[in-house]
Amino acid sequence: MRSLKLETPHAIVVIGIQGSGKTFFAEKFAETFNTPFIEEAMFTGLSRDEKTGRSMMQKILAETLKTKSSIVIESALSSKADRQELVKVLKKAGYETLFIWVQVDTDTAASRSRRSSGISESDYIKRMKQFAQPESYEQALVISGKHTFATQVKAVLKRLTSSPRPPLHKPIERPAASQRNRVIVR
């Protein structure tokens, strides 16, 4: 196994719809580079409810971040707000975040989900609709859930070793042109 040595510790956060291949990629990447792997589903599966599972994951994540080692996180993170909250936690701990968005066609994802977790079609559709695609400011690297791991990892390593990217934060919203430089007379 190789070690993932980066100047600044990174959190490689793998996102996508259920059945896209997130867990397969995240587990294999972490194993290949001897990197800690934190999977939200493991915690939610072991706990009595989703809230408790997320709380357990956050505690383990906080302890793992103290190591300043790059890590791989696989989480539902369906909403943009969830992802931005995670970015804040990671940034405060001195980590850079790289979102890996694993994509596959919805028919393949649905088939994989029903086969692996026995989820009903209606539950799958509900979960799929909850996923909010990353915004451009999140700078997610898109990889195919149907490509080989070798192809996927090449794309990730290329991104990790490329020039520094601007910080992940929501761009400042500017007032509309009609609202700028308005003079109010009273």
CB 1 within 8 A of CB 89: no
Query: 97 is in which domain, residue-wise?
Result: 10-161
Residue 136 located in a structural domain: yes
Residue 17 located in a structural domain: yes
Residue 128 has pLDDT above 50, yes or no: yes
Residue 32 located in a structural domain: yes
Nearest in space to 13 (alpha carbons), one of 52, 67, 66, 57: 57
| pLDDT given for residue 42 in this prediction | 84
As a whole number of angstroms, the distance between CA 70 and CA 66 comes to 11
In CATH, what number is assigned to the domain containing residue 120? 3.40.50.300
Residue 179 located in a structural domain: no
Residue 169 located in a structural domain: no
Number of domains in the chain: 1
CB 71 within 8 A of CB 64: yes
| Prediction pTM value | 0.79
| pLDDT given for residue 28 in this prediction | 95
Residue 50 located in a structural domain: yes
Residue 174 located in a structural domain: no
CB 19 within 8 A of CB 109: yes
